[in-house]
Amino acid sequence: MSETTAPGSWQSDPSALLAQRCVALADGLPLNPALSAEVCWCVRQRGDWLAAVIAPGFVRIVLLPGGGDLWGGIPLGQQRYLALGNMDWRFVAAHDPVLGDYQYIDLAESVAGVAGMSAARHLASDARIALGLAPAAAPPGNEVPRPVSRRGFLRALSGRR
């Protein structure tokens, strides 16, 4: 793994490799043909990496270790809660042979309910704000994302805007 200085610790932006692995990470999951593989955003937060990842099988926030204080090693399949923004987020531990250990949060209980890439990107954008991360710069001509309350984020997750 040339991206790391120590096994399992990402020192540089893992976006490119994460984008390459999106489809493999969705292997075995129910698929939504309206979704394609994309890393919406990836930021270094408190020394570790948080990324919003869309694939035909999921819309997720992925946490990768970078030597910071967000990462907490737990056994595969186990869950841990991490306080970010105004919420406690439930991360699940997983492993990929290329990425190594990572943890994730599914932003949609079922990808069948995600209407398409635009809806998936809105979930990712809302999650970024709810995680307490600075919103991404809006492209010219688009409105700046508004702050999202916990209730608003949970309504978006359930498909009610």
**Euclidean distance between CA atoms 103 and 93, whole angstroms:** 4
pLDDT of residue 117: 97
> What's phi and psi for 85, nearest 5 deg?
65, -135
Signed CA dihedral, 43, 44, 46, 52: sign only? positive
pLDDT digits (tens, 9 = 90+) for 93-113: 999 999 999 999 999 999 999
| Nearest-angstrom CA–CA distance, 133 and 128 | 6
Phi, psi of 89, deg, nearest 5? -100, 135
What confidence tier does 2 reach under pLDDT thresholds 50, 70, 90?
A: very low
pLDDT tens sequence across 56-74? 999 999 999 999 999 998 9
Domain count, the chain: 1
Residue 114: both structure tokens together: 């995600």
pLDDT of residue 1: 36
Residue 36 sits in which domain range?
Answer: 4-157
- Tell me, what CATH number does 93's domain have? 3.30.1460.40
Q: Work out the average pLDDT over 77-104.
A: 96
